[in-house]
Amino acid sequence: MASAPQMISRMPAIASIRASVLEPLVQQIDRRSGKTDVLLASHGILRSQLEDPYAMVPIARYVALFEDAALITGEGTLGARMGTMFKPSDIGPIGVLFSISPTIRCGFQRMAKYVNTVQGATSSGVFEEDGNLVWSYRLEDPRMWPRRQDSEFTLAASCQLVRSCFSKGWKPMEIHFEHAAPRDRSTLERIFRAPIRFGHSGNRIIVSAEDANRVYRQEDAGLAAVLERHVADLAGSEVPTDRMAEKVRALIGIHIGHKPITLPAIAGDLKISVRTLQRRLSEEGTSLRELVRDYRQTLAALQVRAHVQKSRMAEALGYADSTVLWRARKGWTENAS
């Protein structure tokens, strides 16, 4: 059984990412190609923006640039390889917070809580499944596709954070990706040191309960408080949404395919009554059933584009089998006509 997610981070109003995040990628393109400035310009990005730690660029441009960089360099695992070079300082105070955390669990909780100070259009959360820790990451906008490089970079970078801050020999139990499997998985298996599954509803790192809860250090509470205050200052006006539908969508994205999505379960996650949840959603003109249906439709469209097998798609969407999925998709089509 999966427990309630301990931290959820959702997108701010403007889907953007700090331009400085692109610097390592640009360095890689510089080494492998003479087309860096042309590539940046084609995506509406100036090299000078990368030098400003507070400058923001649309995250859709970042995702597209990453995909183009993999094509230009001829390296399908560019994102994952870059992730192995990631350092805590690359994400500023969030990375430092991760590095001083007493446990891996605490590090991932902070990552999920503060990820939207670095980038928007993102759903991230931490929850338990079968006693183990699961950290999930997913870009919410379905128009940002393909996005293999961002997904593999983020999970590889997160694994590298654990190895550099907690244990060099650490291995996750399992890695999940939303995109379809590449022809050659060997490089990814070597980087992640764990079984990798593809065609899931999101990108996830599964950490054993023993690893997640092991205490590695005594945290400096004063330093942590200062860093969290600094992260809050960086967030500025990016405040969490008060809309109940957005909070429920975040939970759907984290749990779909892993945990039954019911009114009592969602209300429990949000620490409100079922009646309050129903009332708030009704006031916003929707319901849990509609939100789950819409989420499944969006996710199914993405997985069709990613050529995910029907059986794997059904599992990722929380259906018993591909026949049930087919009936659901037929119902969506009929209701739309």
For the ranges 6-10, 114-118, 146-150, which has the lowest average pLDDT? Answer: 6-10
Is the model's pLDDT at 184 over the cut of 90?
yes
* Alpha carbons within 13 A on the beta-carbon side of 325: 22
Give the amino acid at 335: N
pLDDT of residue 277: 93
Render pLDDT for 42-82 as a digit per residue (tens, 0 to 9): 888 878 778 776 677 888 889 999 999 999 889 999 999 99
pLDDT at 274 over 90: yes
CA end-to-end span of the chain: 38
Question: Is the fold of 7-213 the same as that of 244-336?
Answer: no
- Predicted confidence (pLDDT) at residue 10 exceeds the cutoff of 50: no
The pLDDT of residue 132 = 96
Residue 6, pLDDT > 70, answer no
The per-residue pLDDT for 107 is 96
Q: Where are the domains of the chain?
A: 7-213, 244-336
The most distant pair of C-alpha atoms in the chain lies apart, rounded to whole Å, by: 60
- Average pLDDT in the 240-261 region? 78
**CATH superfamily assigned to domain 244-336:** Homeodomain-like (1.10.10.60)
Query: Structure pTM?
Result: 0.79
Strands 203-207 and 122-129, bridge-based pairing: unpaired
Q: Which residue has the higher pLDDT, 73 or 242?
A: 73
CATH number for domain 7-213, candidates 3.30.70.270, 3.90.1520.10, 3.40.50.180, 3.20.20.140:
3.90.1520.10
pLDDT tens, residue by residue, 106-145: 999 999 888 877 787 788 889 998 999 999 999 988 888 9
Neighbours of 252 (CB within 10 A): 21
For the ranges 122-126, 184-188, 263-267, the one whose mean pLDDT is highest: 184-188
